[in-house]
Amino acid sequence: GSRPDTVMLSGSAQPTPRLPSTHLLNRLLFSTPFRRRLTIDDFEIGRPLGKGKFGNVYLARLKESHFIVALKVLFKSQIEKEGLEHQLRREIEIQAHLQHPNILRLYNYFHDARRVYLILEYAPRGELYKELQKSHTLDEQHTATIMEELADALTYCHEKKVIHRDIKPENLLLGFKGEVKIADFGWSVHTPSLRRKTMCGTLDYLPPEMIERRTYNEKVDLWCIGVLCYELLVGYPPFESPSHNETYRRILKVDLRFPPSLPLGAQDLVSKLLRYQPLERLPLAQIMEHPWVRAHSRRVLPPSVQMAS
């Protein structure tokens, strides 16, 4: 018989998720009449939120519950043309199983003849990238808050053996209170050794071991948030150069220079993250306890989220 939509693609039976908020959301989102699958007719479509490579994202509302979401519409033809069906499937499965206040939720998905629809958490304050363009830099308070949020979100990912690999302002959205939401499909999966070592993303955030195409592990994410911390405070990434080759060269040398205006506490944190040797990078738990982060972070958790589990 037909079951309510489920995000499990691999077919293994999973119990319902543990968080109360999740139960509620699943009820809101999955309780279509006769438990049929969701379709586009279940939504009222609002303004476009943005354009992506494979389709557009719209503000949308479930007709039944009035629940607001971001609906990402991907065209099957484009995904097939690029041979990304399997990757999309795997990425949906991973993101759907990540439930954390600083990771954009993927609630569900459905498809019709031409399109795949992803039902995503709506991030009301949009892209961190745009905020950075507008204000050039972020202050210590906002940056330290983002560092704590990302360290917590990545701890959660790494426990689940998920490496992100692609943290950068373009991939971070902002929630209602300005809290950061990791939001992209650059998710890298479980076993890095089985992964093709593909190069993607901005050169500025590439860790040395990825440039040198060595095997890498979750410590690539420590490098990336070090680069991010620098860019948010300074206004440009630490190894930015006129040419690709020069950027590579500076990353491999870890040619790190701080503007004197950069607070010493932040310099200390960044220099402990941007280490050539992955094992020497400051672990996530110590980022959260770093004196500069503790002094400036104003993290608030949404009330519905319980940090247990």
**Minimum CB distance to ligand AMP smaller for 3 or for 47:** 47
Out of 38, 60, 62, 70, point to the residue binding ligand AMP (CB under 6 A): 70
Give yes or no for residue 88 binding ligand AMP (CB under 6 A). no
C-beta of residue 151 within 8 angstroms of C-beta of residue 101:
no
Give yes or no for residue 50 binding ligand AMP (CB under 6 A). yes
What binding mask, one character per residue, do residues 156-195 give for ligand AMP by CB under 6 A, x or -? -----------------x---------x------------
Q: Which two tokens stand for residue 284?
A: 């996530």
- Amino acid at position 181, single letter: K
Please check if 102 is assigned to a binding site.
Answer: no
Q: Which two tokens stand for residue 81?
A: 């043309």
Residue 138 and residue 148: Cα distance in Å, rounded?
Answer: 15
What binding mask, one character per residue, do residues 108-147 give for ligand AMP by CB under 6 A, x or -? ------------xxxx--xx--------------------
- Amino acid at position 284, single letter: L
Please check if 160 is assigned to a binding site.
Answer: no
Please check if 248 is assigned to a binding site.
Answer: no
Q: Contact region for ligand AMP (CB under 6 A) — 11-19, 48-56, 108-116, 234-242?
A: 48-56
| Total residues found in the chain within this entry | 309
DSSP label of 17: P
Where do we find the tokens 């690709």? Answer: 244
Residue 98 and residue 116: Cα distance in Å, rounded?
Answer: 20
C-beta of residue 166 within 8 angstroms of C-beta of residue 200:
yes
Residue ranges binding ligand AMP (CB under 6 A): 49-52, 57, 70, 104, 120-123, 126-127, 173, 183
Residues contributing to the annotated binding site for ATP: 53, 72, 121-123, 170-171, 184
